Amino acid sequence: MRHEVKNSILFVHPNASKKIYQGLSASLSAIEPPIWAALLANHMRTKGYHNVNILDCEAENLSPEESANKVEDFDAKLTVFVVYGQQPSASSQNMQGVHDCLELIKQNNPKRKVLLTGLYPSAVSRKTMIDEKADFVCQGEGPRTITALMQVSNLEEPTQLEKVPGLWYRDEGHIKFTKPAALISQDELHIELPGMAWDLLPMDKYRTSNWHAMSNNNITQPFASLYTSLGCPFRCSFCCINAPFGNNNVENWEYGRNKFRYWDSNFIIKEFDKIHEMGIRNVKIADEMFVLYEKHFMELSNLIIEREYDFNIWAYARIDTVKEKYLDTLKKAGVNWLALGIESGNTTVRKDVVKGKFTEFNITDLVRQVQDAGINVIGNYIFGLPEDNVETMQETLDLAKDLNCEFANFYCAMAYPGSKLYLDAIAENRTLSNTYSGWSQHSYDMIPLDTKHVDASEIVRFRDNAFNNYHEDEKYLSMIEGKFGIETRNKMVDMCEYKLKRKLLGD
């Protein structure tokens, strides 16, 4: 069934989960609502566009062929692939699904107009235009570019396209671009991005991570995620999340600093009201740094407490932003998990990637304070940072096992497009992935950065062994059984039975 073409827009969240997560995609990896697709859809509604749709190919478990056919059925004036994600590698790895689907879309209908927006396209706009058959690329956060593009009467006319801010396009075979659109200001957030278009999402299809569900009797569905703020004020060299907001784009960017903005608590609580009305308990606050500005997160937490909602929330924080005085309020609001970016157990390695302030903190004491408040901790660690060697990576694993957090994420350092590491790697002619799936931490063909001391294959092997070493340790499993019961312990044991295959390791 075809939809009306005039003034219609389709936002697409791609799917390449099997390539990105291997066998983990069957039941262990989360399926998260595409927050930016839902924000952009609601933005377009505020601009008077009523024929707005979202196609979540991942949640619907669509193949590239099925996705391309669905796109053709919608027959929108503009099809927008929203290439974001709720963790640093997600945008780059999600380009795999974009590529696979886009090839078929253009094969079905070469005249179908397609725009790519998101972190990866913003960071490497020219490369994206060269590599992909997209008609347009948005450089920037998206809303103002997409609105202006939809107002163009002829999407094939360069004299009209040159008036759209933040747009990369083609003119007689030449790639051209315009000055980026201004970012949405703090005061405009509730007007330009007034919450998510929840009604356009298949909310019954989303599930949270297995570890997050530990504090909800291992029940992973239903699940919702949302932002209460955008961006991050810090400048960690391995992080790419600020690329759409003015940092580390390869070219055509003029903003000189990070743009951190947050919605007013009295506005954003309405989104939590909607989540509660949908009967959803599992909630992820996807902010890059939720525990940051006290006025923001404490006001919001108190509003949730006043409503007596029984959420199972997880959120991100830095070691140096968490204070003991916050913990009781966060716990009462339903924050059962805090993800802490510990990164490395070695001070020199940590300082090199702009985590130096952690020398002022006793990480062990802080983790124990959080746990004593009844909040579980996800420790995030990275192997293969620029100054890492085998000994410092072992220090990181030793620290992780000493802390014995309720879950640990172990990553390999990658020079994600949109990070300073990427710009440095390009300047130094370092080896980077030549596939989109290669940016995924869990894919077969993943390629991390090597260091001055350790090559990429050794880092991958260390990371995979460390994951099992940590989660199979009896000290860890006993702690999990004591907190969450024997069923949860058994689920952790089952999780570790799955072994990722790695091309670098000769699998």
Q: Domain for residue 338, yes or no?
A: yes
Q: Domain for residue 486, yes or no?
A: yes
Q: Domain for residue 82, yes or no?
A: yes
Query: Roughly how many angstroms between the first and final C-alpha of the chain, as a whole number?
Result: 45
Instruction: Give the Cα separation of 205 and 104 in Å (integer).
Output: 25
Q: Domain for residue 258, yes or no?
A: no
Give residue 1's pLDDT.
Answer: 37
CA dihedral 265, 270, 275, 277 (to 10 degrees): 140
Give residue 354's pLDDT.
Answer: 62
- Indicate if 211 and 147 belong to the same structural domain: no
Find out whether the peptide bond into 88 is cis, omega within 30 degrees of 0. Answer: no
Q: pLDDT per position in the chain (507 positions), as tens? A: 344 456 799 999 999 888 888 877 777 778 999 999 999 999 999 999 989 999 999 999 999 999 999 999 999 999 999 998 766 667 888 999 999 999 999 999 999 999 999 999 999 999 999 999 999 999 999 999 999 999 999 999 999 999 999 999 999 989 999 999 999 999 999 999 999 999 999 999 999 999 999 999 999 999 999 999 998 887 778 778 788 887 888 888 866 555 789 999 999 999 999 999 999 999 999 998 899 999 999 999 999 999 999 999 999 998 888 999 999 999 999 999 999 988 888 888 887 766 545 555 689 999 999 999 999 999 999 999 889 999 999 999 999 999 999 999 999 999 999 888 899 989 999 888 899 999 889 999 999 989 889 999 999 999 999 999 999 999 999 999 999 999 999 999 999 998 999 999 998
Displacement of CA 284 from its chain's centroid (Å)? 12
Task: Find out whether 167 and 181 touch, Cβ atoms under 8 Å.
Answer: no
Helix, strand and coil content of the chain, in percent to the nearest 5, comes to 45, 15, 40
Element containing residue 484 per DSSP (H, E): helix 474-484
- Residue 220 CB coordination number (10 Å): 18
- Indicate if 222 and 138 belong to the same structural domain: no
- Give 294's contacts (C-beta < 8 A, 6+ positions apart): 326
SS (H, E, C) 183-242: CCCHHHHHHHCCCCCHHHCCHHHCECCCCHHHHHCCCCCCEEEECCEECCCCCCCCCCCC
- Indicate if 173 and 211 belong to the same structural domain: no
- Indicate if 283 and 144 belong to the same structural domain: no
Element containing residue 285 per DSSP (H, E): strand 282-285
How far, CA to CA in Å, does 402 sit from each of 14, 67, 339, 364, 469?
39, 46, 17, 8, 13
Strands, E assignment, 289-442? 312-317, 335-343, 376-383, 407-412
Q: Domain for residue 395, yes or no?
A: yes
Q: Domain of 141: which CATH number?
A: 3.40.50.280
- Indicate if 335 and 441 belong to the same structural domain: yes
Give residue 237's pLDDT.
Answer: 80
Q: Domain for residue 257, yes or no?
A: no
- Indicate if 430 and 375 belong to the same structural domain: yes
- Indicate if 213 and 171 belong to the same structural domain: no
Q: Domain for residue 167, yes or no?
A: yes
Q: Domain for residue 200, yes or no?
A: no
**360 lies in which domain range?**
207-228+263-505
Q: Domain of 389: which CATH number?
A: 3.80.30.20
- Indicate if 332 and 462 belong to the same structural domain: yes
Give residue 351's pLDDT.
Answer: 79
- Indicate the number of domains in the chain: 2
Whose structure tokens read 């879309």? 105
- Indicate if 135 and 223 belong to the same structural domain: no
- Indicate if 152 and 215 belong to the same structural domain: no
Displacement of CA 372 from its chain's centroid (Å)? 29
- Indicate if 166 and 212 belong to the same structural domain: no
Instruction: Give the Cα separation of 171 and 448 in Å (integer).
Output: 36
Instruction: Give the Cα separation of 366 and 322 in Å (integer).
Output: 8
- Indicate if 152 and 224 belong to the same structural domain: no
